[in-house]
Amino acid sequence: MKHELLTVKGIGDAMLLKLKQNAINSIIDIIHYLPSRYEKHEISSIHAMHFSETITLKATIVSPPVLNYIRKRLTKLIIEVITEEVVFKIVLFNREFLKSSLLVGAEVVVTGKFENTIKIMVASDLVLSKNYVLGIIPKYGLIDISDKVFSKLVKGSLHINQLPFEDPLPDEIIKKQQLLTQKDMIKIAHFPTSESDILAVSRRIKYEELFRFGLRIALLRQLNDQIVSKPKKYDIDKVKHFIDSLPFELTIDQKNVTNDIFRDLKKSNPMLRLLQGDVGSGKTVCSMIAAYAVVTGHEQVAIMAPTEILAYQHYQNFKEALEPFGVQVQFLSSSIKGNERTTILNNLQEGNIHILVGTHSLIQEEINFAHLGFVIIDEQHRFGVEQRKKLRLKGLEPDVLLMSATPIPRTLSIAIFGDMDISSIKSMPIGRKKVITTVADFSAIDSVIKRVNEELILNHQAYFIVPVIDGKEGTDLIGVSELFSILRNQISNKYNIEILHGKLKNEEKNEILSRFYEGMTQVLVSTTVVEVGLNALKATVMTVINAERFGLSQLHQLRGRVGRNDKQSYCYFLSDMVLLGNNRLDILEKTADGFEISEEDLRQRGPGEVFGSEQTGIPKFRMANIIEDEELLHLAFSDASSILNSRDLKAIKLIKNTLTMIENFQLD
């Protein structure tokens, strides 16, 4: 039987395979595959130009292009052009392949910015004028299918398809929120004629995405409210004695967080609280106080961290602080085997171990607690939903405290953790100095290494971070070995430089880190293995190469590895994107506020990229942005809650479908 897609003009066997690669298997799939964004193509006058703002101009080439090789994997193409009697130069990086087509007299359309002078434009895009299409251009982001070709397929599909569009949203909501019907929205989305069309389509798509997500959160909250547990009994005098023994006074934020947790412990519903705070703000101390309280009530505590390095550091901290108070703390990872492992498991099941610290190995079936009452999950977004769920099932509805060093803005926390309570630590311990941060291109590496040498003379230590283990040919990425060679030539042999990355065995990684902690290694060249939790107090300078490959929150986390003492510390983010006029990283120079940085990161990349869609349970929205669309989110969430008891047939269908989804993919 002939495939229905082959009846659409422009679709043959080759296109059929490309569509299948994009999960498009029917005419309905084509119609419902909406643009993810739009570009407005219009040409401006150079006299309307403002410095540092993007502008698109039509110009004529007046001299042959010149190609400069700046360094390995970085070229600069310079083209002199004229428009409206103004002559200026266009600078394009890594576009050497355009040189042969840019002939004198050719007319081009160029998009870019004039930073400080009208004589030079740093361009982000350049095409021959004959290939530039004016108007509103839908962008689909399909694999191996251009936007122009797909638009033709949509037109052909709409012509063939005569099926009625059943709108999934209740009619009362469409009317209340003045939304386009789905039928009108689909037709306008593919072929908009004005900006008002785009706004109307965008509002409908965003609203429906947020409404469906809000319905899932509302139903999940209902399910969680039905769970009952016994309030915790603990010895408050012992807890106060432990707090008094700490070598520092808790900050106001730490005291407030601790009170939040203790109120939860007394409730007849299990605690489900997120504790968020910036790097080094003191979250661990709060979790330690809570863990000790639970132990005084004769229940056990499980602490799970995403890496063995971080888990072992938690083990050392908890053991040092709590063993003097009679608490038995044990560490467990997949590398512990044989008799030692058997002994740990037996003691755990008999209740002789009060606190067990480990990685995801804690969720294995063989591990049984005598009475697990409290679960602490550090860097919670690094664990999949199922992993967190399995650890909770080790006890009888234990209280759960999730911790994150990536602060989450209020709007996002409402969306992701609508069924959780949230505590935040915003103040930092007294005596911490702000890390001096510089964003620059790679040409600054020599001055950075000079600063590193100055710090090494003072008996301090340094991190160098790269995004990959091995830099691949044809890219500008620098790997650990290549950077090691550069540093070895510019740093005295009396200083030890070591390499750390994820492919090393755990034993080898731990040995390298131990040498760094103890000061035997002065410079550590690493991938993001060091991103969270590591606490080398003598480290005062960090350099991140190819910083554009990281998110803002991740760079802020990396920066948190230095400045953990009373010494002045420095951080350098090197990126050739600076040459292109891309100022995405500038916020890191301006602020050390993790909440502000996280909000900007989420605005740029979306929560699925920052935290991981699987970990948070956030769907990958095609258009909605939880940060930018805050007002629409509140409307959609309010409407979602209001239909829970509706008798509208469409509303009932939506609720049933959402409950089925929750059962198949249970959120924490």
Residue 36 sits at φ, ψ, to 5 deg, of: -85, -20
pLDDT band at 617 (very low <50, low <70, confident <90, very high): low
The pLDDT score that the predictor gives to residue 296 is 96
- Over residues 532-537, mean pLDDT: 68
The pLDDT score that the predictor gives to residue 380 is 56
Q: For residue 110, give the amino acid letter.
A: V
Q: How far apart are the first and last CA of the chain?
A: 46
DSSP, residue by residue, 593-661:
-HHHHHHHHHHHH-HIIIIIHHHH-----SS--TTTTHHHHHHHHHHHHHTTT---HHHHHHHHHHHHH
Residue 425 sits at φ, ψ, to 5 deg, of: -110, 115
- Coil, strand or helix: which one is 127? strand
- Over residues 525-550, mean pLDDT: 83
Same topology between domain 236-425 and domain 436-591:
yes
Distances from the Cα of 528 to the Cαs of 351, 534, 545, 575, in angstroms? 37, 11, 11, 16
Q: Which two tokens stand for residue 282?
A: 């003191």
- Over residues 591-607, mean pLDDT: 79
Round to whole Å and give the CA distance between 173 and 169. Answer: 7
**What number does CATH give the domain 236-425?**
3.40.50.300
Residues above pLDDT 70, as percent of the chain: 88
Contact call for residues 294 and 373 (beta carbons, < 8 A): yes
Contact call for residues 362 and 391 (beta carbons, < 8 A): yes
Round to whole Å and give the CA distance between 283 and 426. Answer: 10
pLDDT band at 121 (very low <50, low <70, confident <90, very high): very high
The pLDDT score that the predictor gives to residue 473 is 52
Flag the least confident range among 256-270, 278-292, 360-374, 452-466.
Answer: 360-374
Distances from the Cα of 12 to the Cαs of 5, 8, 28, 153, 162, in angstroms? 8, 9, 17, 11, 22
The pLDDT score that the predictor gives to residue 593 is 83
Round to whole Å and give the CA distance between 56 and 45. Answer: 8
Quote the strand ranges of 482-544, DSSP E.
Answer: 497-500, 523-526, 539-544
What is the tens place of the pLDDT at every residue in 443-455?
Answer: 899 999 999 999 9
Round to whole Å and give the CA distance between 348 and 394. Answer: 12
Helical axes 252-265 vs 283-296, angle rounded to 10°: 30
The pLDDT score that the predictor gives to residue 414 is 61
Q: Which helix (H) or strand (E) holds 319?
A: helix 308-322
Instruction: Tell me, rounded to whole angstroms, the distance of Cα 634 from its chain centroid.
Output: 23
Of 286, 291, 274, 531, give the one whose Cα is nearest residue 407: 274
- Over residues 501-505, mean pLDDT: 83
- Over residues 306-326, mean pLDDT: 88
Which of 109-113, 356-360, 613-617 reaches the highest mean pLDDT?
109-113
Per domain, the residue ranges of the chain are 43-131, 236-425, 436-591
The pLDDT score that the predictor gives to residue 612 is 55
How many of the other CB atoms lie within 10 Å of CB of 263? Answer: 12
What is the tens place of the pLDDT at every residue in 206-237?
Answer: 999 888 888 887 887 777 667 777 888 899 99
Residue 459 is given by DSSP the state T
Contact call for residues 547 and 585 (beta carbons, < 8 A): yes
- Is the per-residue pLDDT at 390 higher than 70? no
Q: Which residues pair with 400 in a beta bridge?
A: 272, 375
Flag the least confident range among 100-114, 251-265, 342-356, 494-508.
Answer: 494-508
Of 145, 165, 160, 181, give the one whose Cα is nearest residue 27: 160
Contact call for residues 654 and 215 (beta carbons, < 8 A): yes
Q: For residue 372, give the amino acid letter.
A: L
The pLDDT score that the predictor gives to residue 385 is 47
- Is the per-residue pLDDT at 457 higher than 90? yes
Contact call for residues 519 and 508 (beta carbons, < 8 A): no
Residue 364 sits at φ, ψ, to 5 deg, of: -65, 150
What is the tens place of the pLDDT at every residue in 163-198?
Answer: 567 788 888 899 999 999 988 999 899 999 888 999
- Over residues 269-297, mean pLDDT: 88
- Over residues 551-555, mean pLDDT: 87
Round to whole Å and give the CA distance between 122 and 577. Answer: 11
Round to whole Å and give the CA distance between 198 and 175. Answer: 19
The CATH class for the domain spanning 43-131 reads mainly beta
- Over residues 281-305, mean pLDDT: 92
Residue with tokens 């650890």: 391
Of 611, 631, 648, 595, give the one whose Cα is nearest residue 279: 595
- Is the per-residue pLDDT at 536 higher than 70? yes
The pLDDT score that the predictor gives to residue 4 is 84
**What number does CATH give the domain 436-591?**
3.40.50.300
The pLDDT score that the predictor gives to residue 285 is 92
Q: For residue 514, give the amino acid letter.
A: S
What is the tens place of the pLDDT at every residue in 373-386?
Answer: 898 988 754 444 45
- Is the per-residue pLDDT at 393 higher than 70? no
Residues above pLDDT 90, as percent of the chain: 38
How many of the other CB atoms lie within 10 Å of CB of 23? Answer: 9
- Coil, strand or helix: which one is 416? helix
The pLDDT score that the predictor gives to residue 343 is 94
| Mean pLDDT score of the chain | 84
Quote the strand ranges of 466-549, DSSP E.
Answer: 497-500, 523-526, 539-544
Residue 199 sits at φ, ψ, to 5 deg, of: -60, -40
Round to whole Å and give the CA distance between 655 and 633. Answer: 18
pLDDT band at 615 (very low <50, low <70, confident <90, very high): very low
Residue 25 sits at φ, ψ, to 5 deg, of: -125, 5
The pLDDT score that the predictor gives to residue 388 is 46
- Is the per-residue pLDDT at 415 higher than 70? no
Instruction: Tell me, rounded to whole angstroms, the distance of Cα 140 from its chain centroid.
Output: 23
- Over residues 535-551, mean pLDDT: 89
The edge-to-edge listing of strands for the beta sheet with 436-440 is: 436-440, 570-574, 539-544, 461-465, 523-526, 497-500
Of 254, 237, 342, 246, give the one whose Cα is nearest residue 293: 237
Q: Which two tokens stand for residue 191?
A: 């072929």
The pLDDT score that the predictor gives to residue 112 is 93
The pLDDT score that the predictor gives to residue 413 is 65
Q: Which two tokens stand for residue 619?
A: 């769907």
